[in-house]
Amino acid sequence: MAGLQNCNLVANPCFSKPIVTETDAQPCFDAPLYRRIIGSLQYLTLTRPDIAYAVNVLSQHMHDPAPQHTLMLKKLIRYIKGSTELGIPITRSNLQLRTFSDADWASDPVTWKSTSGYCTFMGNTLVSWTVKKQSTVSRSSTESEYRALAAATADTIWIRRLLLDFRITLSNPVDIFCDNMSTIALANNSIFHARTKHIEIDQRFVRDHIQQKHIKLLPVSTIDQLADILTKPLSTNRFKVLRSKLTVSTYSSVCGGMLEQIT
């Protein structure tokens, strides 16, 4: 479909630097083809968290893709072409949940909205991940991190309740890891300030679950923040490290048939 059967392979689905194109540059794909490819790749993200950020960014331009977006899509396809053997294993381990929450503040240069990313493990198995552009503009990195934390908390509580339907009760709070100390302090602070009034609902929501011992916020260094791969483009070395920590590795391919249609 994309005519890239014999393309050169790349090790990173994203460009780590902004793309500069000529004003008269021609797109790699026309708009209808761009939309068909992105539609197919959205299904692939159900088993490939390593491409979730790239697909999320490209999906925001389906109505009118510019040449740089088609160039980004071409690189993503080249990455997928060289990584069809990757997948997520399901391994036997404990049933304890742990979640990583992160945000990239004002990452969209047009709207200045931030990008939230979070992922949840059950034991050693990755069971949930999300990349989403926030609906409102955050006035600080703490605010953007807190909005991501509230969304991650809601998703974690949903998974916790889903386990109850299977008669699996978690005796300990779910650990949620965040690399922003201001966000952690705000979540544990019982006093509301005028400066945080615009996120008071999120603050109360997270703090209530902390008080009910459903979740526990823990600090994590930026280096060990696994959700970083879901919020921004990374250097190839950093990308590979986090991809490995997400347990994306060489297992039986789950995207071969879909890739044949795309390429």
**pLDDT digits over 175-220, tens only?**
999 999 999 998 887 665 555 666 778 888 999 999 999 999 999 9
The string of pLDDT tens digits covering residues 216-253 is 999 999 999 999 999 999 999 999 999 999 999 986 44
pLDDT of the residue at 24: 65
pLDDT of the residue at 257: 45
More confident site: 255 or 133:
133
Q: 254 falls in which pLDDT band (50, 70, 90)?
A: very low
Task: Give the Å distances, CA to CA, from 188 to 23, 150, 207.
Answer: 50, 13, 6
| Pairing between β-strand 115-122 and β-strand 174-178 as defined by DSSP bridges | unpaired
pLDDT of the residue at 198: 64
In this predicted structure, which of 48-52, 103-107, 147-151, 187-191 has the lowest mean pLDDT? 187-191
- Which of 70, 165, 174, 185 is closest to 128 using CA atoms? 174
Structure tokens at 97: 């949940």
More confident site: 155 or 258:
155
pLDDT of the residue at 253: 43
pLDDT of the residue at 19: 75
* Amino acid (one-letter) located at 102: D
Average pLDDT over residues 131-149: 94
Average pLDDT over residues 108-136: 95
pLDDT of the residue at 106: 94
Q: 1 falls in which pLDDT band (50, 70, 90)?
A: low
- The Cα 111–Cα 67 span in angstroms is 19
Span(s) in the chain for CATH 3.30.420.10: 97-229
pLDDT of the residue at 204: 87
State the residue for tokens 């879901």: 230
Question: CB of 37 within 8 A of CB of 2?
Answer: yes
| Residue 22, burial from CB neighbour count under 10 angstroms (0-12, 13-18, 19+) | exposed
In this model, does residue 261 exceed pLDDT 90? no
**Percent of the chain scored above 90 by pLDDT?**
69
Phi-psi region of 232 (alpha: psi -120 to 50; beta: other; left: phi over 0): beta
Average pLDDT over residues 93-119: 94
pLDDT of the residue at 240: 96
Contacts of residues 71-75 at CB distance under 8 Å and 24 or more positions apart, as own/partner, are 71/19, 71/21, 71/28, 72/14, 72/15, 72/19, 73/28, 73/29, 73/34, 73/37, 73/38, 74/2, 74/4, 74/7, 74/28, 74/29, 75/10, 75/12, 75/13, 75/14, 75/15
- The Cα 9–Cα 11 span in angstroms is 7
Identify the CATH class of 97-229.
alpha beta
pLDDT of the residue at 199: 78
